[in-house]
Structure 1
Amino acid sequence: MTYAADTSLTATFKGTVKEAEPVDTVPPVISGADDVAVEFGASFDPMAGVKVVDDVDGDVTGAVKVSGDTVDTSKPGAYTLVYTVSDAAGNEASVTRVATVKEKSGETPIEPGDKEPDKEPGKDTDKDGDKDDQGNKKPGLSATGASVPVVAIAAIGLLATGAVSVAVRRRRDI
């Protein structure tokens, strides 16, 4: 038995072939948002020097959202800022920055335990109410060197032990 088949198929396409758009998976890059020291009382712009570039969308600096602490340059301390931005494809980038407001120049730091800073520098009073420490100190040396004799004795002992050890070795070598 013999079987013969003639199969052919013809298809016609009318339209435009379009290449698939590349998928954007790369988030934008935030630069210039490094930690910064701010002078007391100076103005602070959190966006100064910050630039954001995306590989597909280009410059997206205008889309940055800054959250976190509000930097108050009249109060020394560390303020944390968070910079967040998304590109058109929804890729998000985020950077944390610390802005540290310095102490006011010429200002005397408050000692631990003081409730208030001194009202006028140079007008300090001591225990007996006058401006100097005359008469407030006990006679004699301060106790800062009290442990020196113990250290000296230990050092002398170590030197003596070393000298004896060297002498014994030299005798063995002879």
Structure 2
Amino acid sequence: MPEVKMTVNGKPASGQIEGRTLLVEFLRETLGLTGTHVGCDTSQCGACVVHVDGKAVKSCTMFAAEAEGAEIKTIEGMAEPDGTLHPIQQAFQDHHGLQCGFCTPGMVMSAAALLAENPTPSESEVRDYLEGNLCRCTGYHNIVKAILAASGQDVSRIAAE
């Protein structure tokens, strides 16, 4: 079996893979990074979003071999080493942007990609960007509010739902 090498959350990572091994499987099963979730196996839900060389990617759509030499960031790499939450994670907590939490890693990773591209998105831009991320619990309202808050925008006039 071939070996794949990449940098994951700032650290070198490698492992033996079969050619058909998906990036999400490599992250979860080989590296033990189980924060990246598998929700649908069809690239529809967005629970598996990670950053590959700075771009949001559904890791169930990419073979691990395609990530050879890449810089990968997962939800485990978002918080500071001392456990301090990333501002997006803190905003999700502060604004109740999660319920069961299954979609949350993908939502946070997508939100980080959005804010890197567009630091002060409008509510409609946030909703459009999250189109590929499914949540069956929250109704999205508080997720959108959390992302807007993480961008530094005033969300005090947005009603709690």
TM-score above 0.5, yes or no: no
Q: Which of the two has greater strand per residue?
A: 1
TM-score for the superposition, normalised by structure 1:
0.19
TM-score for the superposition, normalised by structure 2:
0.20
Structure index of larger Rg = 1
